[in-house]
Structure 1
């Protein structure tokens, strides 16, 4: 893959059917002169830490799926197979960058320090948002496909006018690129040279629709049409993802505007726990992608470097089990929210209409108290 540059946007990846890769599926470290400098400082300790991140996140994912099957969660969007894309990109950010996720970025939430129970809180139906967005610089999960890209651009323009070098990073899937919101966000980002990283996780399936039905060329090819440079990277290669994200973040901090990253990965599980992928996906395709498993790939690299010790494996597994146990306990023991809290945080400031609705709902709830129940013959 070749890079070109121009005075306004800096390095640009020219269109190619392939993607940038630094670790092969066999765990071999390969060189890329354009991206190598962005990970030249990566230490053995960081590699093992990213390995732990991915193992723990996969354990969170399997535990949450089990909780949903057991009736403890209403729904869960698995990220199985996308760990490297999410861990690598989020580990490249700074604490003052603001991240705008869709609804599958549970690994990003983990990296950002969101308490484990809060990751599943919204899926249990206990909150409108699982965490405080400003505490973690991470917006609430966004179910409206692609809407978060507009929010990211708005935040990025604000950061630019504030004179800070913080960057907005927004995640979305391949299916979202067909939504108007994503395209409109790119128009505004390019026009205002907003410090935004558009991070597309191309996991090959928009629910039951394969990416080939909506993208006859690579998705990364779309962004240059808006004036946004793009990179197409192996999303199952955590090192390549880190390098690509660092490059994009650096461009934004220097004032060179937005960058679009297409991380080519694969959703090995269902779209959500309400989905049955066996109805539309060939088993052979899944088996082929299992050979490109992001955790197995990094595990092989660590082994080749002499870093995959029994101690590391035991420590990582213990951490994963500990997190899963805390997640389960936090979920099962989560108290139900008070009914009137449904009105909290709907608007930034109180207003008369909302207060009227709150009073009406409070009056409705009070009609079910013990005295009224008794006087109505036990009816509620």
Structure 2
């Protein structure tokens, strides 16, 4: 215990009092930031993927209203977290996303139709995890956290230089799976980055009703896991923090302070638990506008470049519409496949009843 409580050890575990950042909300640089500013080409890539990701997100939201998706959890406002973290991944690293991380999937190279397959209500995953090094999208809260730890631990046992990035929301930190994953990661010194996108609410439950901790990043102390608190609306800062954490010898807990601009899903009425002034205040901290202002001020983006990027984003959205507007051929009999190795009597009876009704 004396070793864990030593001042030197505490300094490596404690997060900063304020979120780390590289860019202010007006796009101007933070002069005394301890983070390393990404190269110009990385900043341009971060902006490009955020613009495309936001257009993808709004298109998916529209398709949900048209009945082409069963549900869609928008990540508008959280683009810096998803794009910044994913672009920090090396080719051999793996991503373990949640249902709200579709923008992260397309940034990683997953086909948009594949990224939305689960949200269409299809029992298929929609993409090859090994091709893209992206695990299945996690719908139950926090179940992807032990998956990431186990995967990275296994990779280390095999002598592979592989790290895992697992995404979760603030609500997922209240789940037992997160506790178990952080505990194992701390004991095994597993190369896993836990990226908590703290968007303020677990559906309608505010953070103040989830934890009494000074920050979610402080939770790493109890597991012996170094923690970082970062401005989740600053794509450059998220990239810098996650990039360094992925290359660390062991796990890191990163809390990114951001905000969910839209409702939890299309089935949620956010006006019942938050007011318009709160949303407006966060719109003023828009992550896309912040990085764009920085690029423009430095001559890395001009009017022609913005027009070209907008056209690219529109073309991407058109591709999403084309893919999602195509009717999917379904076989209702698949409801009974892969439930048991040997179908039960009741399952066979139900399958036969459905077959008669379809006939």
Flag whether TM exceeds 0.5 (same fold).
yes
Partner SS, residue 246 of structure 1: helix
From 278, 285, 288, give the equivalent of 1:292.
285
Partner SS, residue 197 of structure 1: strand
Partners of 1:324 and 1:11 lie apart in 2 by 46
Partners of 2:46 and 2:156 lie apart in 1 by 31
TM-superposed deviation, 1:13 = 5.8
Is 1:367 the counterpart of 2:342? The answer is no
Partners of 1:232 and 1:160 lie apart in 2 by 27
TM-superposed deviation, 1:72 = 1.6
**What residue number does 2:3 align with?**
none
TM-superposed deviation, 1:334 = 3.8
The 1:232–1:107 alpha-carbon spacing in structure 2 relative to 1, beyond 3 Å, is same
Partners of 2:237 and 2:295 lie apart in 1 by 15
* Structure 1 residue runs without a partner (length 5+): 1-5, 371-380
**What residue number does 1:26 align with?**
26
**What residue number does 1:318 align with?**
311
**What residue number does 1:329 align with?**
322
The 1:152–1:328 alpha-carbon spacing in structure 2 relative to 1, beyond 3 Å, is same
The 1:235–1:245 alpha-carbon spacing in structure 2 relative to 1, beyond 3 Å, is same
Partners of 1:247 and 1:291 lie apart in 2 by 28
Partners of 1:246 and 1:131 lie apart in 2 by 25
The 1:215–1:135 alpha-carbon spacing in structure 2 relative to 1, beyond 3 Å, is same
Partners of 2:346 and 2:292 lie apart in 1 by 55
From 196, 199, 202, give the equivalent of 1:200.
196
Rg comparison, structure with higher value:
1
**What residue number does 2:108 align with?**
112
**What residue number does 1:374 align with?**
none
From 72, 88, 93, give the equivalent of 1:92.
88
TM-superposed deviation, 1:32 = 4.4
Partners of 2:341 and 2:283 lie apart in 1 by 55
TM-superposed deviation, 1:126 = 2.6
The 1:98–1:359 alpha-carbon spacing in structure 2 relative to 1, beyond 3 Å, is farther
Aligned pair count reads 353
Residues 53, 107 of structure 2: 8 Å contact kept: no
RMSD (Å), alpha carbons:
2.4
**What residue number does 1:279 align with?**
272
Residues 13, 220 of structure 2: 8 Å contact kept: no
**What residue number does 2:187 align with?**
191
Residues 170, 198 of structure 2: 8 Å contact kept: yes
Q: Please identify, of 122-131 and 151-160, the stretch whose mean Cα deviation from structure 2 is larger.
A: 122-131
**What residue number does 1:353 align with?**
342
**What residue number does 2:256 align with?**
263
Partner SS, residue 12 of structure 1: helix
Partners of 1:231 and 1:354 lie apart in 2 by 49
